[in-house]
Amino acid sequence: MHIVKSFGVMSVAKIMGVLYACMGLLFAPFFLLFGLLGSMAGSMAGQGSSPFAGIVGVFVAILLPFFYGAVGFIGGAIGALLYNLVSKWVGGFEVEVELRSTTPLAPYPIIPPASPSV
């Protein structure tokens, strides 16, 4: 067993920021859909159509990945800092690691060429 003593704060923050930004990209179409449905529901309820009715959904969908990325970056940095502090007192994660050979494996057995007979 190996023990993870600490994490690089910036490396965790960058990875978490990118992962959360990708999640924001996944959620953005739903905000566009909800903005569209909200503007349609407002016009069908007889409240009149406003030129800015669906624009809020578009702005939220555009800003959502950036906001999620920033929150992920900050949350990842705080989480890594807390882990580094707590792991000094109680120990780190125990991880079992398997070491593999670095020699490349051929997809088929390598047979040396036959030597020409004289």
pTM of the model: 0.69
Question: What is the length of the chain?
Answer: 118
Q: Which residues pair with 3 in a beta bridge?
A: 94
For residue 69, the model assigns a pLDDT of: 96
Q: Which of 82, 102, 78 is nearest to 92 (CA)?
A: 82
pLDDT confidence of residue 53: 62
DSSP letters for the chain = -EEE----HHHHHHHHHHHHHHHHHHHHHHHHHHHHHHHHHHHHTTS---TTTTHHHHHHHHHHHHHHHHHHHHHHHHHHHHHHHHHHHH--EEE-------SPPPSS---PPPPPP-
pLDDT at 79: 96
pLDDT given at position 51: 60
Q: Which two tokens stand for residue 14?
A: 């960058």
In order along its 118 residues, the chain shows pLDDT tens digits of: 888 889 999 999 999 999 999 999 998 888 888 777 777 776 666 666 666 666 777 788 889 999 999 999 999 999 999 999 999 999 888 888 888 777 767 677 777 777 776 6
93 bridge partner residues: 4
